[in-house]
Structure 1
């Protein structure tokens, strides 16, 4: 068990906790965090994090950006004024929070030497009462399950819940700012709003308003949960990056009831008039979605 800043990290399960807050890291993100913790206070390159988390799997450094962004959201870290993970431009990342490893608890020295007293054997009557109680409890559990499973009140998952959403319904969640230093959040939010505006003009498509979509900004919520909360069949998410004089926006359309990506695209634009870029990218995405979304009654 590790303590990183105010968070306790279970290295085996990936669970992290801070007071009443609880979250679970996926395997890759956990490896990135553990690699940073192993080299706390040191600069760790993106290549080192790639090797630690993905090994021989061929992925780009975007995967590291996504993992670090996810960690920051979960830890409640501000990339502009970090208390956990610091971005070192062109070099990598550094964990600046204090790291402590909790020692495994040891049994008391004298207790291991003392012979344990034999447990008293239960009487036949006690055993009979225990067996009868177990049978009654099991029977009650079976009856409860049968009654509620038939009424549909038990076993509903977020994925199944989205089946009741309108077939042509969509939510655009705020784009992740993955630029160096993450200083383009306002621009990423602007693209998100333009996307909502342009996509909402597609005929017969229901699109959630910005106020609903931006509720999930900086929250680590699964697509199925977002779709369930907003009652939509599709979720559009993406990210913003910059390289020199170019801006890159990646977007993907996810089908909520399966979690599959049904469409994705990358848009590269020269950095010029930012408002024009927002409008142009949103228009292109809306046109692609117009052709990609089903026209049938079911998603």
Structure 2
């Protein structure tokens, strides 16, 4: 399933676009809403209500990568290349950061399901997302 609708950019990549371009600029004030959370990618910040969610930069980068391709399988290799570019890391590093991300999101609790694992293949962001846009 490919997401349709809004296009936003995070981390220099076009989001929700089947052919992202690497040299696009981030929009000003873009935010992504899902469940009780609000991701402010230009600020590299995840909030729950008015409260910042304590999350490391690698877990945030994983979240952004999954949101960019919500509803699609993002391979373990793609995530590792995104989060640790030009560095070899053990797959266990990805697992550790996904676990931290799921804990921060309380994934699987209170009726909220955000990230699904396809064992040995990758992860998929499955929750509904609302993208608010480009304010100048």
Normalising by structure 1, report the TM-score.
0.33
Q: What is the root-mean-square deviation in Å for CA atoms of aligned residues?
A: 2.0
Segments of 5+ residues of structure 2 without an aligned counterpart are 1-30
Aligned pair count reads 105
Listed as ranges, the matches of 1:1-299 within 5 Å are 1-78=31-108, 83-106=113-136
Sort the Cα spacing of 1:77 and 1:19 in 2 relative to 1 into closer, same or farther, 3 A.
same
Higher relative contact order (CA 8 A, sep 6+): 2
- Once the 2 structures are TM-superposed, how far is the Cα of residue 24 of structure 1 from its aligned partner? 3.5
- SS of residue matched to 1:24: coil
Q: CA–CA distance in 2 between the matches of 1:74 and 1:20?
A: 15
Q: CA–CA distance in 1 between the matches of 2:115 and 2:122?
A: 10
Runs of 4+ in 1 over 3 A off after TM superposition: none
Segments of 5+ residues of structure 1 without an aligned counterpart are 107-299
Q: Is the 8 A contact 2:32 2:39 kept in 1?
A: yes
Q: CA–CA distance in 2 between the matches of 1:61 and 1:24?
A: 23
- SS of residue matched to 2:47: strand
Q: CA–CA distance in 2 between the matches of 1:56 and 1:101?
A: 30
Normalising by structure 2, report the TM-score.
0.68
- Once the 2 structures are TM-superposed, how far is the Cα of residue 82 of structure 1 from its aligned partner? 6.1
Which structure carries more helix by proportion? 1
- Once the 2 structures are TM-superposed, how far is the Cα of residue 74 of structure 1 from its aligned partner? 0.4
**Structure possessing the higher radius of gyration over alpha carbons:** 1
